[in-house]
Chain A
Amino acid sequence: MNKYLGNKSALALFLLPALLLYSVILIYPVLQTVVRSFYDWDGLSTAAFSGFANYRELFNDPLLSTSLKNGLIFALVLAVFQIGLGTVLALVCANPRTRGRKLLKTAYFIPVVLSVTVVCQLWIAMYDPTNGLVNKLFGLLNIPYRQNWLSSPTQSIIAIAFVNAWQFMGYQFSLLYAGVKAVPEDYFEAATIDGCGKWRAHWHVTLPLMRETYKFCFTIAITSGIGAFVQMLIMTNGGPGTTNYTMTFMIYRYAFMESNYGYACAVSVLLVLISLVATVVINKVFDRGQNA
């Protein structure tokens, strides 16, 4: 039997194509990025080793603080909107007495399958200062809050983050909904019989049992906030000026527009490190809650 399942040529045939492609296209480039981040390199001529010069320069780059701040705002909008509102919607929707659950879930999920370009173009049209739906709606409701959404240096990042939050709400909602459903109903009932109000019962029973779901939801929200790119690119091209830069936007600009590859690699490495730290912190936070 062991000989049968240890067939060397079959093993090679099954393993090698995936392993080779994975190593050449994914792992080797990761190593390249790390190594190149220590070089001064324009992508064509010979690279010159420069030690930590790229990193030193990076920490003095005003675009880095802009990018970090925007990444944080982006992540915050995603977390509050998708996870905060998503939790409330999931709790109400999971109540067996709620009607039209199938319809609601379908409607929430449709934006997820759309192309990000279509969604961004649609929201550019909706944010249009004179003809857009958003301003027209404020006008209709007589609320004096009309604005030039995408050209405001302070608000446009929130407006853009909202587009991402809107599109992927259905995704986070599905995860949260599944999380709520996975909590045994007896637990919740026991708490209400013990005199807990419904919301208190959810707060003390349902939500703590959804730890794994939240771990995943927050990881997705935070890392996609830090690495945001497409929405900035399509909706304002990083502008007005450089106010909407994110770290991925920096990588794109330094590598593909300014041919400063070594420096762009340093930004990539920092981005990965920050994502990694964020993931570890999220895990720690949710695991500590478990022991308390």
Chain B
Amino acid sequence: MSPKTFRSIGHFLLQIPLWLYFVVSIYPLFWMISYSLKNNDEIFVTNPFGLPTHFRFENYVNAWTQFNIPRYFWNSFVVSIISTLFILLLALMFAFAVARMQWRFRSAVRTYMLVGMFMPLQVIMIPLALLVRDFHLTNTYGALIIPYIAIGLPFSTMVFYGFLVSIPREIEEAACIDGASIYRLFLGVILPLALPAIATIAIFQFLNNWNEFTLAYILISDENMKTLPLGLLFFQGSYSTDWGAMGAVMTIASLPMVLVYLLLSDQVERAMTVGSAVKG
């Protein structure tokens, strides 16, 4: 054997762990989808590993009609969309004021905002729950939306800040000479320029808010107000006899995010890992 073929065999062998982990990463999901189309007998005894022999779509019909899934979806959607929009708006305005405007305490205010990025959520859990109670927000959308906005701000403002300081200074001069007001400068010039950063933060915050669990668990107890991660919590118990329907519920809950990811994989990965550049 020539050294070259030896090397390519070596490299081929090296790739085996990659594909093994490929299976470890994907197979549980494949298993979930396939058992969502089986009945108990097939899951447990006749065919636990492979594709279903007969596609039992009735599991999906049962899951959708008997349980509160549409409601959970709607709640998650409302909470995630509203909090993401407000995070984008407030963070961009704040970053604009700190990165572009001229005033005395801007670096102190920026540092103040930075502190929040390193604050573990656990430390605000208790006072926040009491705050929400005292404002009579328990079991309303506001109980989640307001904290989600606040928690999303430090990180988003830092990303926007990093983006906005890199824009050339002449932009403001041109706007000033053209007679544009500062609001016009913000909306008509800065906002369009920041679109790439806005897209990244939008994906990041939407995913975070969509999947947030701990605060929702503490602040929401009303069945009709539960978000998707919270609503799914109790399926295990109620479905213990019907695994197929449980698989269907879980598949329905996962599908939107997986589809979004498959369509926008590069953007999603960039959004999720942008933190390493800012925090590191």
B-binding residues in A (CB < 8 A): 1-2, 4-7, 10-11, 13-15, 17-19, 21-22, 24-30, 32-33, 36, 43, 85, 88-89, 92-93, 95, 97-99, 103-118, 121-126, 130-131, 133, 136, 140, 166, 169-171, 174-175, 178, 212-213, 215-216, 219, 223, 227, 229-230, 233-234, 247-248, 251-252, 255-256, 261, 264-265, 268-269, 271-272, 275, 279
Known: A17-B93, A122-B28, A251-B122. A92 touches B128 (CB 8 A): no
B197 within 8 A of A: no
Residues in B whose Cβ lies below 8 Å from that of A32: 126-127
- Total A-B Cβ pairs within 8 A: 270
**Are A110's CB and B103's CB within 8 A?**
no
Q: Is the CB of A121 within 8 A of B14?
A: no
Size class of the B contact interface (CB-based, 8 Å): 35 or more
Chain A residues, Cβ within 8 Å of B151: 25-26
A106 to B151, CA, bound (A): 28
Q: Could you list some 5 contacts between A and B, CB below 8 A?
A: A15-B94, A21-B149, A105-B269, A109-B265, A251-B126
Cβ of A171 and Cβ of B126 under 8 Å apart?
Answer: no
Determine whether the beta carbon of B257 is less than 8 Å from that of A114: yes
Shortest distance from the beta carbon of B217 to any chain A beta carbon, whole Å = 7
1/0 per residue B113-153: CB within 8 Å of A? Answer: 10110111111111111110000000000000011011101
If A14-B94, A19-B109 touch, whether A271 touches B15 (CB-CB below 8 Å) is: no
Known: A89-B17, A112-B272, A251-B125. 17 other contacts (CB 8 A): A1-B173, A15-B93, A25-B131, A88-B17, A99-B15, A109-B269, A110-B29, A111-B29, A114-B257, A115-B232, A133-B28, A175-B276, A227-B121, A261-B130, A272-B119, A272-B122, A272-B123
Question: Does B194 touch A at the CB level, under 8 Å?
Answer: no
Contact B250 A122 (CB under 8 A): yes
The 9 closest A-B pairs by CB, nearest first: A25-B150, A29-B127, A18-B94, A32-B127, A29-B124, A14-B97, A216-B280, A14-B93, A18-B90
Please state if A268 and B125 are interface contacts (CB–CB under 8 Å): yes
Bound-state CA distance A123–B28 (Å) is 8
Q: Is the CB of A43 within 8 A of B130?
A: yes
Q: Is the CB of B93 within 8 A of A13?
A: yes
Q: A1-B172, A110-B258 are in contact. Are A27 and B25 (CB under 8 A)?
A: no
Q: Which residue of A lies closest to B154 (CB)?
A: A22
Assess whether A29 is in contact with B280, with CB atoms less than 8 Å apart: no
Considering the chains assembled together, what is the distance between the CA atoms of A48 and B154 in angstroms?
34
**Residue B233, interface by CB 8 Å:** yes
Given A114-B254, A233-B217, also A22-B123 (CB < 8 A): no
Across the interface, which residues of A come within 8 angstroms of B273, CB to CB?
Answer: 171, 174-175, 178
Q: Does B195 interact with chain A (Cβ within 8 Å)?
A: no
In angstroms, how far is the closest chain A Cβ from the Cβ of B49?
7
A114 touches B258 (CB 8 A): yes
Given the known A-B contacts A21-B150, A33-B124, are A171 and B272 also in contact in the complex, defined by CB atoms under 8 Å? Answer: yes
A214 to B211, CA, bound (A): 26
B93 x A18 contact (CB < 8 A)? yes
CA distance A29 to B48 in the complex (A): 49
Find chain A residues with CB under 8 A from B213 CB.
Answer: 115-117, 230
Q: Report yes or no: B127 in contact with A28, Cβ–Cβ below 8 A.
A: yes
Let me know if A118 and B254 touch, CB within 8 A: yes
Check B111 for interface membership: any CB of A closer than 8 A.
Answer: no
* Residues of chain B with a CB closer than 8 A to A107's CB: 22, 25-26
B57-102 interface (Cβ within 8 A of A): 90-91, 93-94, 96-98, 100-102
Are A117's CB and B122's CB within 8 A?
no
Chain B residues whose C-beta falls within 8 Å of the C-beta of A6 in the assembled complex:
101-103
A11–B153 contact, CB under 8 A?
no
* Chain A residues whose CB sits within 8 angstroms of the CB of B243 once the complex forms: 125, 131
Docked pose: A275 CA to B19 CA in angstroms? 35
- CB of B25 within 8 A of CB of A169, answer yes
Contact, CB under 8 Å: B232 / A104: no
Which residues of B lie under 8 Å from residue A1 when comparing CB positions? 172-173, 176
Given contacts A6-B102, A126-B31, A131-B43, contact A95 B11 (CB under 8 A): yes
Q: Assess whether A116 is in contact with B11, with CB atoms less than 8 Å apart.
A: no
**A116 B211 Cβ-Cβ under 8 A:** yes
